[in-house]
Amino acid sequence: MFGRLNGKSLAIASAVLFLVACGGKDEEKKAQTSVESKKNSISYNLGTDPRTIDPQLNTAVDGSIVASNIFEGLFMEGDDGKLVPAAAESVEVSPDGKVYTFKLKENGKWSDGKPVKAQDFVYSWKRGLTPDTGMEYAYMLFYLKNGEKFYNGEVTEEEIGVKAIDDKTLEVTLENATPYFLSLTSLPSYFPLREDVVKDNPAWAIDAKTYIGNGPFKIKSWSPKENILLVPNENYWGKNDVKLDELRFDIIVDDKTYLNAFKAGEVDIIDAPPASEIPSLLASGEGKIYPYLGTYFYVVNVSGNNSNPEVVKFLGNPKVRKALALGLNKKLIVEEVTKAGQLPARSFVPEGIVATDGNDFTKNSAYLPGEGDVELAKKLMVEAGYTTPESIPKLTFTFNTGDGHAMVAQAVQDMWKKNLGVDVDLKNEEWAVFQTTRNNKNYDIARHGWIADYNDPMNFLDLWVTGGGNNVSGYSNPEYDNLIKEAQKENDPEKRTALLHKAENILMDDMPIIPLYYYTSVVAANPKVKGWVKSPLGGYHFKKAYVEN
């Protein structure tokens, strides 16, 4: 077993402790000057300080971007979006699709020069499955044989389906054939970790000396609310592909501030610029709309964790939740508020997610009309017993600080008041605080968004199983849970797709979530910065990035 790791408390303190570990602001200012003085250095605005950069404890895009440039899994996304071997040299799959035998690269090394071994993957995956680790993504490792049973205390760790045959051979046995398993191995949840670094050291991910990775970069310093500085990993197997001297992740939350920094040449790449500036950025060629496989939505707290019983009763009624969804004109929101080519969400699973049968999973889904249906929403409110505005309890909507989130929230607030007589107070919180609030279900309705980790509808639908690590709604439906379990075991593509559609039918009928729109990503970039890759799964890959003279 592994030692206890209190992920939540460490994560919140991580940036502060990393500052101490890295020598403080004076040293960082010198580092930043170094960035500016070197020709082959680029900066990307990360936006917020990650809650954690422990690959297994992180659940946010910001932390994933940092970790994915410092670590790599067995496979990774190539420049064209297709999977290519990373830490692995090759893989063989058994005829029944359940056993994967990976050969690791002979020249794979950690940033301190020690070789990457099969045992590093074994340790990492078993650590993730240990409940004391506090990994919210632990269910992503349930694909391993006996992974879920070990997590639930039903078997020993020796029975988990992963073992090191020798230093460079890793054998993985799955519960069921999983056609997208290689995609999973590219995710932070599946990154290797060194036992001698991580075990018995809960502060390993907040100290530059112990934050040791196997990817193209290594961390040099982290100054909270300023930047995270990376430099090349000279021991990386693909070091000849790495052209940058330094890579800086800036921490600028306000969109107007980071836009001004971009225009002044202080930041090379930004995303999510102010909506009012998007047309001019696109027209100038500095901005570009990238595909982004994800859904922006609101999550409803149906856990009963609320001191106001009237709010519990109100939000606990599925007719009310459906009325709230139908009371929104999402077409107006994307055309007049966000203005970045987003599409009104008619389902939870976004367009572009490919089902096992090879078709777009959402192609024929139409749960919610883009312009809403106010008359039906009003009817549902009456059926739920709320016939007058006075009978409706006041709600609080919580979101993380950001002008874009605030503008959408204000539009939703106005629509719910005008269309349904629902009064909503708006409450914004700093990102790390907001994540804790949402995870602990201390909210009425909260902002949320989900970007695909891998291109399969399961990545969206398994979020809402009872007790799931990312089920921040508290939603529970045994029929839904059973359909997800059946789909996980089903090998026939058409049958599996049908099971997942049935599951989404239930989800959209119960409506613990309110989908608003399918994401796009507007990115503005310095035209001299080349070789970086923006993934439709949300990542940024800077392995081959460089500055053109």
pLDDT higher at 70 or 17 = 70
Q: What is the pLDDT of residue 39?
A: 66
Residues above pLDDT 70, as percent of the chain: 93
Q: Compute CA distances 398 → 243, 310, 410, 441, whole Å.
A: 42, 18, 12, 11
Handedness of CA 288, 294, 295, 298 (dihedral sign): negative
Rounded Cα distance between 291 and 426, Å, is 30
Residue 337 is encoded by which pair of tokens?
């508020």
Name the residue among 55, 35, 526 with its Cα closest to residue 247.
Answer: 35
Predicted confidence at residue 499, as pLDDT, reads 97
CA distance 439 to 137: 13
- Alpha-carbon distance of 149 to 157, in angstroms, equals 10
Q: What is the mean pLDDT of residues 462-466?
A: 97
Spatial separation of the C-alpha atoms in residues 136 and 535, rounded to whole Å: 23
More confident residue, 19 or 379: 379
Q: What's CA 501's distance to the chain center, in Å? A: 23
Q: From the CB of residue 261, how many other CB atoms can be counted at a distance below 10 Å?
A: 18
**Strand, coil or helix: 216:** coil
Among candidate residues 296, 302, 297, 295, the one with its CA nearest the CA of residue 444 = 302
pLDDT of residue 317: 98
Q: Mutual orientation of helices 403-420 and 318-326 as an angle, nearest 10°?
A: 110
Collect contacts of 310-313 with beta carbons under 8 A, ≥24 apart. 310/393, 311/393, 311/395, 311/444
Region of 200 on the Ramachandran plot (φ > 0 left; ψ -120 to 50 alpha; else beta): left
Q: Which of 507, 516, 509, 513 is nearest to 329 (CA)?
A: 516
Q: Report yes or no on whether pTM surpasses 0.85.
A: no
Q: How far is CA 322 from CA 289, 349, 364, 414, in A?
A: 31, 17, 20, 17
pLDDT at 35 over 60: no
Cβ–Cβ < 8 Å for 541, 86: no
Span 187-223, pLDDT tens digits: 999 999 999 999 999 999 999 999 999 999 999 999 9
**In the predicted model, what is the mean pLDDT of residues 251-277?**
95
Measure the CA–CA gap between 540 and 549, rounded to whole angstroms.
Answer: 22
pLDDT given for residue 78 in this prediction = 87
For residues 466 and 545, what is the distance between their CA atoms, to the nearest angstrom? Answer: 42
Q: Write down the pLDDT at residue 264.
A: 97
Which of 33-37, 108-112, 306-310, 477-481 bottoms out in mean pLDDT, i.e. has the lowest? 33-37
Predicted confidence at residue 2, as pLDDT, reads 26
Q: What domains does the chain contain, in order, with CATH numbers?
A: 7-255+526-547 (3.40.190.10), 290-521 (3.10.105.10)
* Residue 470 clears pLDDT 60, i.e. is over it: yes
- Residue 519 CA to residue 342 CA, distance in Å, equals 6
Dump pLDDT digits (tens) for 39-98.
699 999 999 999 999 999 998 999 999 999 999 999 999 888 889 999 999 999 999 999
Residue 163's DSSP bridge partners are: 171
* Contacting residues for 346 by C-beta, under 8 A, at least 6 apart: 362, 365, 366, 367, 368, 369, 370, 515
Q: Is 363 exposed, middle or buried (0-12, 13-18, 19+ CB in 10 A)?
A: exposed
Residue 192 tokens read as 């290797």
Q: What is the token pair recorded at 94?
A: 């058994």
Instruction: Tell me: pLDDT of 478 over 80.
Output: yes
What is the share, in percent, of the chain residues with pLDDT greater than 90?
85
What phi and psi, each to the nearest 5 degrees, are found at residue 58? -70, 140
Mean pLDDT of 171-186: 95
| Look-up of token digits 């149906």 | 302
Distance between CA atoms of residues 394 and 388, nearest Å: 13
Q: How many CB atoms lie within 10 A of CB 160?
A: 22
Q: What is the pLDDT of residue 37?
A: 44
Note the pLDDT tens digit of each residue in 330-384.
999 999 999 999 999 999 999 999 887 788 999 889 899 999 999 999 999 999 9
pLDDT category of residue 28 using cuts at 50, 70 and 90? very low
**SS3 at position 59:** coil
Question: Does residue 161 have a pLDDT over 50?
Answer: yes
> For residue 6, is pLDDT > 80?
no
Confidence band, pLDDT 50/70/90 cuts, at residue 513: very high
Which of 3-12, 16-25, 138-147 has the lowest average pLDDT?
3-12
Say how many residues make up the chain. Answer: 549
Residue 327 pLDDT class (50, 70, 90 cuts): very high
Alpha carbon of residue 142 to chain centroid: 18
pLDDT at 33: 40
Residues 361, 364, 369, 370, CA torsion sign: positive
Q: 275, 69 in Cβ contact below 8 A?
A: no
More confident residue, 52 or 35: 52
